[in-house]
Chain A
Amino acid sequence: MFLDIFQFDFMIRAMVVGAIIAVIAPIIGIFLVVRNYSQLADTLAHVSLVGIAIGVLTHSSPILFALGVTIISALGIEYLRSTHKIYGESVLAIFLSGSLGIATLIISAGRGFSVDLFGFLFGSLTTVTTADLIMAIGLGILVLILVGGFYRELFMISLDEELARVGGIRTRLFSTLLIVLSAVAVTLSMRIIGVLLIGSLIVIPVISAMQFRKGFLHTMLLAVLFSFVSVVLGIFLSYYADLASGGTIVLITLVLFLTSLFFNKK
């Protein structure tokens, strides 16, 4: 009875995609949080709405369009940030509100896809397709390989960009890699948790893990654990209690965060 949930193919798909994003969201998230770039995830999530809107309007894959639009925007954000043309947070504000405006325009042009859109905004387990699953597995593995392979470089540019440069690390290249990986993580997460709630999965488990005041790798693994528990438990709860999956997951991340505050002895 407890495992009823696995009778449905879409729930199995949702669970697998959920597990993948639960692992990669905080792995990318920790680099964003320590670089004071937490807002990036939220910004990219809003940007992805433009892609979703185009995808839905043209009856093609919203996720693929979202991936394309978020990666291009991520590159734009990184360019403006690294050339110091615009101050970091202002760049994010421009992309966040600007893309929301464009998405609204496209959505209003193609009246009648509000039901689909609701799922993307707040997450909907039933909408996870086989194509989403395959993409999540492929991109999930790619993210793990890239972060694993360039762990030292990503750690260094996060600790101190100048020191990294002096140490011969191509900081621009790795900052760009990180931001593109963020775009991938955001796009993968939106089916399950929804565009408006993605930021929380990328950021909250990391901040919770940081309360334990451990080393970088430990903090990362702890964040993955918190995120994994939140997503899996969230999917179960949302299925049996008929709740919105995204909201349930975020609520669990918040409970874990509040609990972790007690462990910070500082």
Chain B
Amino acid sequence: MNDKKPIISVRDVNVIYGDQKVLDGISFDVMEGDYLGIIGPNGGGKTTLLRVILGLLKPDSGSVEINAGRIGYVPQRISQREMNFPATVEEVVRSGGRYGVAADQAMEMTDIVSLKKRIIGELSGGQRQRVFIARALALQPDVLILDEPAVGVDIASQEKFYEFVAELNKKHKLTILFVSHDIDVVAHEATAVLCLNNTLICHTTPEEAITTDYLEKIYGRKVKFILHGH
């Protein structure tokens, strides 16, 4: 590709649940500075792939090599436990890293300084998502992994949210890996796209992904692409 080095190397990863192959021979590299969007249908193995990369799930075969110091992770759903958890925004963000300065910066970057004394259960979905991103950033990660980061966030906030993530990638040189079922978002925001439906259908540029028949392959039928105003 170029002189950039892979920060994550996934090699021939297989994950089998019962008699179903959720991940079938997945191999790809994530390069430093990539803004990689993973798309695919429900049950296509997106979250499973993230869990394997994060070391939360051991693949049945294959390997994942991480050449990054730290990985920040923002999970898909904020659990019920977190909804009722008696903790302020500041406490949650500070728990992410050992260094207070990084936590302060993370809260400024995610624009949640004004919320810092609020209890996390009292926040809106979008605000809570930013808190957990700030928490991940407080770790001062080299890679940020987001699983369906905009679920439960209204459309207007979603756009702002992705602008913010793009800024993290461009300005702060953070390598970003995110899962989304929203092809529009992936096509417009990411610099590379991974199409996943148990097997790896494509690893290409967003332009290529939406102009070829990859989408038909992963979703099993023609995908009508409607551009939102960006």
- Interface positions of A (Cβ within 8 A of B): 30, 34-36, 152, 155-156, 158-160, 162-163, 165-168, 209-210, 213-217, 219
Residues of the A chain whose Cβ atoms lie less than 8 Å from the Cβ of B91: 155, 215-217
Shortest distance from the beta carbon of A28 to any chain B beta carbon, whole Å: 15
Query: Can you identify 5 A-B contacts, CB atoms within 8 angstroms?
Result: A166-B71, A213-B86, A215-B91, A215-B119, A216-B91
Complex Cα distance, B135 from A167, in Å, reads 10
Residues of the B chain whose Cβ atoms lie less than 8 Å from the Cβ of A36: 81
- Of A30, A155, A166, A216, the most chain B CB neighbours within 10 A belong to A166
18 further contact pairs, Cβ within 8 A, besides A163-B75, A216-B87: A34-B81, A34-B84, A35-B81, A36-B81, A155-B87, A158-B85, A165-B55, A166-B73, A167-B73, A213-B86, A214-B88, A215-B87, A215-B119, A216-B85, A216-B86, A216-B88, A216-B91, A217-B91
Q: Let me know if B79 is at the binding interface, CB within 8 A.
A: yes
Would A155 and B88 be within 8 Å (CB), given that A162-B56, A166-B54 are in contact? Answer: no
Would A214 and B75 be within 8 Å (CB), given that A159-B92, A165-B56 are in contact? Answer: no
- Beta-carbon contact of A214 and B56 below 8 Å: no
Residues of the B chain whose Cβ atoms lie less than 8 Å from the Cβ of A34: 81, 84-86
Would A213 and B55 be within 8 Å (CB), given that A159-B92, A159-B95, A219-B86 are in contact? Answer: no
Q: Let me know if B148 is at the binding interface, CB within 8 A.
A: no
- Interface positions of B (Cβ within 8 A of A): 54-56, 70-71, 73, 75, 79, 81-82, 84-88, 90-92, 95-96, 98, 117, 119, 122, 135, 139
Residues of the A chain whose Cβ atoms lie less than 8 Å from the Cβ of B90: 215
Q: Helix, strand, loop or mixed for chain A's interface?
A: helix
Residues of the B chain whose Cβ atoms lie less than 8 Å from the Cβ of A30: 86
- Beta-carbon contact of A160 and B71 below 8 Å: no
Complex Cα distance, B71 from A159, in Å, reads 18
Residues of the A chain whose Cβ atoms lie less than 8 Å from the Cβ of B87: 155, 159, 215-216
Complex Cα distance, B54 from A219, in Å, reads 32
Residues of the A chain whose Cβ atoms lie less than 8 Å from the Cβ of B139: 167
Complex Cα distance, B119 from A216, in Å, reads 9
- Beta-carbon contact of A152 and B81 below 8 Å: no
Contact of A166 (CB < 8 Å), options: B55, B86, B95, B98: B55
- Of B87, B88, B117, the most chain A CB neighbours within 10 A belong to B87
Complex Cα distance, B135 from A170, in Å, reads 18
Complex Cα distance, B122 from A215, in Å, reads 12
Complex Cα distance, B71 from A167, in Å, reads 8
Residues of the A chain whose Cβ atoms lie less than 8 Å from the Cβ of B81: 34-36, 159-160
Shortest distance from the beta carbon of A47 to any chain B beta carbon, whole Å: 25
Residues of the B chain whose Cβ atoms lie less than 8 Å from the Cβ of A155: 87, 91, 95
Residue of B nearest to A215 (CB): B88
Shortest distance from the beta carbon of A250 to any chain B beta carbon, whole Å: 22
Complex Cα distance, B107 from A153, in Å, reads 21
Residues of the B chain whose Cβ atoms lie less than 8 Å from the Cβ of A209: 86
Residue of B nearest to A158 (CB): B85
Residues of the B chain whose Cβ atoms lie less than 8 Å from the Cβ of A214: 86, 88, 119
Residue of B nearest to A220 (CB): B86
Complex Cα distance, B135 from A36, in Å, reads 23
Shortest distance from the beta carbon of A264 to any chain B beta carbon, whole Å: 12
Contact of B95 (CB < 8 Å), options: A152, A210, A213, A219: A152
Complex Cα distance, B131 from A215, in Å, reads 15
Residues of the B chain whose Cβ atoms lie less than 8 Å from the Cβ of A152: 95, 98
Residue of B nearest to A36 (CB): B81
Residues of the A chain whose Cβ atoms lie less than 8 Å from the Cβ of B56: 162, 165-166
Complex Cα distance, B87 from A213, in Å, reads 8
Residues of the B chain whose Cβ atoms lie less than 8 Å from the Cβ of A215: 86-88, 90-91, 117, 119
Residues of the B chain whose Cβ atoms lie less than 8 Å from the Cβ of A35: 81
Please list the 6 inter-chain residue pairs (A to B) with the smallest Cβ-Cβ separation, ordered nearest first: A215-B88, A216-B87, A219-B86, A166-B73, A166-B54, A210-B86
